């Protein structure tokens, strides 16, 4: 016998279909990762009519998705100048009904609106703010959604990967440390949309750096299952990355100790310094 049918009904009944509180969530654009090349993702945001893409290194997967879902290409976001992020721009321009946004401190081909930290843009009704995140390239930018306390989106290009970070092609470890610090200051639920599926190989390194980190072990199993099912491991979240990404854990005693083992006894730098730890980790990963 149900002792309190009223309460049960109240707690189990679905909210009214047009509850005003639900409207902003239900009208949120959908996020789709389009696989490209060997391990890139071109993130596509759409509202059923209009689509935006991030870092279209190749036009083909974008044009296919637009056609399959009957979407109009309404805008493009670019994080940095590498070919696997801009290679599709020329072929997409004739199909584009809107702006191309890109980094002010580096050049991408053709006309575009150059953005720098503090700029904010509208993407399908979502407000994104621009962060300067040099390190992988000198003028790399990222786009982080504002006004969403639940699970804001972060398009971080090749600066942050799940369980890893980008190679330092044009920037210094200090710059990368500062850039990653901007990401770790974001809400834990922030959805981290990286542009490469590097998660499992990064986790192998993370497990060597921190063999006792149970979160790394557990996350590896989750990601192996996703990849075995042909699914992306992304988006990740800032909260997850803080638990498993050694490059965000440069002040953890276990990470500092692991980095020390990579240097001969009496090595010259003081690895207590988080930037020196990041530099040593990045060098270690490069030869891993």
- Binding residues for Zn ion (CB under 5 A): 82, 158
User: Which of 84, 78, 171 is CA-nearest to residue 128?
Assistant: 78
Residue 158 C-beta: closest distance to Fe ion, Å: 4
Q: Which of 81, 82, 132, 140 is catalytic?
A: 82
Q: Does 210 help bind Fe ion (rule: CB under 5 A)? A: no
Structure token digits, residue 15: 């909210």
Task: Count the residues of the shown chain that bind Fe ion, applying the rule CB under 5 A.
Answer: 2
Q: Is 269 a catalytic residue?
A: no
Q: Which residues pair with 31 in a beta bridge?
A: 45
Q: Which of 46, 81, 140, 196 is catalytic?
A: 196
Residue 223 C-beta: closest distance to Zn ion, Å: 22
Q: Is 140 a catalytic residue?
A: no
- b/e for 187-226, b at 16 or more Cβ within 10 A? eeebbbbbbbbbbebbbebbbebbeebeebeebbeebeeb
Q: Is 215 a catalytic residue?
A: no
Q: Does 84 help bind Fe ion (rule: CB under 5 A)? A: yes
Contacts of 52 (CB under 8 A, 6+ apart): 44, 45, 46, 73, 74, 75, 76, 77, 98, 123, 124
Choose among Fe ion, Zn ion, none what residue 249 binds, the Cβ cut-off being 5 to 8 Å by kind.
Answer: none
Q: Does 158 help bind Fe ion (rule: CB under 5 A)? A: yes
Choices 61-69, 77-85, 89-97, 134-142; region in contact with Fe ion by CB under 5 A: 77-85
Residues 166-195 that bind Fe ion (CB under 5 A): none
Nearer to Fe ion, 162 or 271 (CB): 162
Q: How far is CA 104 from CA 108, 115, 237, in A?
A: 9, 5, 27
Q: What kind and span of H or E run contains 5? A: helix 5-12
Q: How far is CA 79 from CA 91, 104, 159, 164, in A?
A: 18, 10, 9, 18
Nearer to Fe ion, 159 or 271 (CB): 159
Q: Is 39 a catalytic residue?
A: no
Nearer to Zn ion, 145 or 158 (CB): 158
Q: Is 263 a catalytic residue?
A: no
* Interatomic CA distance for residues 277 and 282, integer angstroms: 9
Nearer to Fe ion, 158 or 210 (CB): 158
DSSP assigned state of 261: H
Q: Which of 46, 80, 81, 140 is catalytic?
A: 80
Nearer to Zn ion, 66 or 156 (CB): 156
Residue 198 C-beta: closest distance to Fe ion, Å: 10
Where on the chain is the footprint of Fe ion (CB under 5 A)? 84, 158
Q: Which residues are catalytic?
A: 80, 82, 84-85, 136, 158, 196
């Amino acid at each position: 016998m149900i002792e309190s049918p009223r309460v049960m009904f109240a707690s189990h009944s679905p909210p009214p279909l047009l509850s005003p509180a639900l409207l902003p969530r239900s009208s949120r654009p959908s996020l789709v990762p389009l696989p490209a090349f060997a391990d890139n993702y071109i993130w596509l945001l759409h509202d059923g009519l209009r689509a935006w893409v991030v870092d279209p290194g190749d036009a083909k997967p974008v044009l296919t998705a637009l056609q399959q879902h009957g979407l109009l290409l309404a805008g493009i976001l670019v994080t940095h100048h590498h070919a696997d992020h801009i290679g599709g721009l020329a072929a997409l321009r004739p199909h584009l009904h809107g702006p191309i946004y890109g980094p002010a401190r580096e050049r991408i081909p053709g006309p575009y609106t150059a953005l720098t930290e503090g700029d904010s843009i509208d993407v399908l009704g979502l407000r994104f703010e621009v962060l300067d995140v040099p390190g992988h390239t000198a003028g790399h930018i990222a786009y982080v959604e504002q006004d969403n306390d639940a699970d804001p989106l972060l398009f971080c290009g090749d600066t942050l990967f799940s369980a890893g970070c980008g190679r330092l092609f044009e920037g210094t470890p200090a710059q990368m440390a500062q850039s990653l610090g901007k990401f770790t200051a974001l809400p834990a639920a922030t959805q981290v949309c990286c542009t490469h599926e590097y998660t499992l190989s990064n986790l192998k390194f993370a497990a060597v750096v921190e063999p006792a980190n149970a979160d790394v072990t557990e996350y590896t199993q989750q990601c192996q299952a996703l990849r075995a099912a042909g699914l992306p491991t992304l988006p990740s979240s800032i909260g997850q990355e803080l638990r498993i990404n050694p490059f965000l854990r440069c002040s953890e005693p276990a990470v500092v100790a692991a980095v020390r083992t990579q240097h001969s006894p009496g090595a010259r730098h003081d690895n207590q310094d988080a930037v020196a730890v990041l530099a040593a980790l990045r060098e270690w990963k490069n030869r891993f």
